[in-house]
Chain A
């Protein structure tokens, strides 16, 4: 994973985390992994979309770990129902899925990052702290998905606002290094910019992914026989 926290990010308080996954076994595993990390505290969990919506409203967590694949609409549906009422809650997608359109749907729904389920407990805790602080957290695979979605192929002419739909060369560069498995700090030294700038670039990529029009992504997905 790419999150290597060099500086001491020990927050004064523990980040309150809510866990949404339809597999009880996996929730138990994540709870056990996160119990070792002192920066985060799991305050509740849910196994379905309805439970998640009610649980998030009740516990008011800071970060929601959100499974992408669930019955009744999955993570995207949870985002749709919760985002309007509780805009302060930050979502981090935690998925085993390799299907790009699922993951991108969750990102577009407003998740602040995406990590895979093979992530270690320490890295997951770091990622939670990071999204709580306002950063976007990408796994190499998601960086690859986004690059693919925005690639300037012959059949992906920009539609709508080109300012919004296209990535700048620098953002593309950052994404490419992310996909190559570089940590934020390594990207910063590679591109001779500060870690803060890298984070800014990644966040703007995330914003563009959320804002770029649906048409383009759905066409991209159907080009690849994904939907």
Chain B
């Protein structure tokens, strides 16, 4: 115990030393250490970061600290005990740390090896029954491996993993390497215990010990049942509330990104009626799609990873939205049925877009309606407005919008176009495309 006390005394001494008047140590000037707690290092550690943490805390070279631990370890294992206790009780650091040089690492390993060698040599002198000593060393090594694996960052991941799934908790997010290390450590522990039990000469004692241990464990388990139940229930409650708060955060974020920003824009552009309408319409469309769309928020959540294939209705909705935005008109669209888009339907969609754009440009109306119906044999799209209309005979020959973009495009792919219009009566463009067999 003495070394530990020494260590703690040293600590205290260091803390006292680093009071306001203590500028004797060169490293003490670097930061206000009077409030600094002893912390183990997280990066660049060899075993648990105790030695380097202590070194940093005391402002001495890490080699000295390691050497001190090694010397104490050889003296009846006191250094190991001190190190273990510090490992258990000193928290890990959280902030950034200065990197460790390769030389320090090499020196550290050297010290550990020297220490082990010295311990074996000393241990040989102190006669310990081999059947007890060797397995105990194995158990200790195994426990150290597991404990090292389950060190703070790891345990934090376990805690988080326990809220998500069991496998994640066991693997701790460290993947295969972590699992191998944990399993190896556990195997070492078990092997050591088995070796102790097997080596024991009197089986009766062992049986008694096992019974005692088993009874104790069962007793502890029974006594702590309410605690376990509460733990599980707390985890459930915590998980549910976390999901709820995540949902809320997601909704809030969406509203912030969309609605609030649009409202702010509208306030700024309040004098431009056209712009306000455009913004409001675009926002309404987006929010509506978010709430009620096929993979919207209000419907059953779809898996995000399978990329949605472009369907006819989705494409038509997109096209109508684009025209709404660029021409500041309302496009009322109704789609019956749906199918995947192929080459022909792409042509039809392009033609439909042109028809809507024509209506937006020339009809001088605020609303255009688009109706599309997907049938087994064909896909029909109707674009109509109640606007100016025109006399088909009087269209100048140099106007190509209707002739090329709509009629030509449809006919090249085997479709038909019919236009019903007359001045003052509005216009309706009917586009029919047979579906590929």
Chain A contact residues, CB within 8 Å of chain B: 97-99, 140-141, 143-144, 147-148, 151, 153-154, 176, 179-181, 224-226
A99/B369 contact (C-beta < 8 A), A141-B334, A143-B334, A144-B335 known: no
- Would you call B292 an interface residue if the criterion is a C-beta within 8 Å of the partner chain's C-beta atoms? yes
Q: Are B335 and A225 in contact (CB under 8 A)?
A: no
Bound complex: CA A99 to CA B288 (Å): 10
Q: How far is the CB of B437 from chain A (nearest CB, A)?
A: 15
CB within 8 Å of A: which B256-310 residues: 288, 291-294, 298-300, 302
Q: Are A225 and B334 in contact (CB under 8 A)?
A: no
Contact of A181 among B288, B291, B335, B369 (CB under 8 A): B369
- Would you call B337 an interface residue if the criterion is a C-beta within 8 Å of the partner chain's C-beta atoms? yes
Q: Are B336 and A179 in contact (CB under 8 A)?
A: yes
- Would you call B312 an interface residue if the criterion is a C-beta within 8 Å of the partner chain's C-beta atoms? no
- Would you call B407 an interface residue if the criterion is a C-beta within 8 Å of the partner chain's C-beta atoms? no
Known: A181-B384, A225-B294, A226-B299. 16 other contacts (CB 8 A): A97-B292, A98-B293, A99-B292, A99-B298, A141-B332, A141-B334, A144-B335, A144-B371, A147-B336, A153-B337, A176-B373, A179-B334, A180-B382, A181-B369, A181-B371, A224-B294
Bound complex: CA A151 to CA B337 (Å): 8
Q: Are A180 and B384 in contact (CB under 8 A)?
A: yes
Chain A positions within 8 Å of B373 at CB level: 147, 176, 179
Q: Are B336 and A148 in contact (CB under 8 A)?
A: yes
Count the B residues whose beta carbon is within 8 Å of the partner chain — how many? 21
Chain B positions within 8 Å of A226 at CB level: 299
Chain A positions within 8 Å of B293 at CB level: 98
- Convert B418-429 into 0s and 1s, putting 1 for each residue whose CB lies closer than 8 angstroms to a CB of A: 000000000010
Bound complex: CA A144 to CA B338 (Å): 12
Bound complex: CA A186 to CA B402 (Å): 25
Interface SS majority for chain A: loop
A-B contact count (CB 8 A): 50
Q: How far is the CB of B194 from chain A (nearest CB, A)?
A: 57
Chain A positions within 8 Å of B300 at CB level: 225
Chain A positions within 8 Å of B334 at CB level: 140-141, 143-144, 179-180
Chain A positions within 8 Å of B298 at CB level: 99
25 contacts between A and B (CB under 8 A): A98-B292, A98-B293, A99-B299, A140-B332, A140-B369, A141-B334, A144-B336, A144-B371, A147-B336, A148-B336, A148-B337, A151-B336, A151-B337, A153-B337, A153-B376, A176-B371, A179-B336, A179-B373, A180-B369, A180-B382, A181-B332, A181-B369, A181-B371, A225-B294, A225-B300
Those 8 A-B pairs whose CB atoms lie nearest each other, nearest first: A181-B369, A144-B334, A98-B292, A180-B371, A147-B336, A179-B334, A99-B292, A180-B382
Q: How far is the CB of A187 from chain B (nearest CB, A)?
A: 13
Bound complex: CA A180 to CA B437 (Å): 27
Chain A positions within 8 Å of B292 at CB level: 97-99
Chain A positions within 8 Å of B302 at CB level: 225
Q: How far is the CB of A98 from chain B (nearest CB, A)?
A: 4
Chain B positions within 8 Å of A153 at CB level: 337, 376
Bound complex: CA A180 to CA B298 (Å): 27
Bound complex: CA A154 to CA B374 (Å): 13
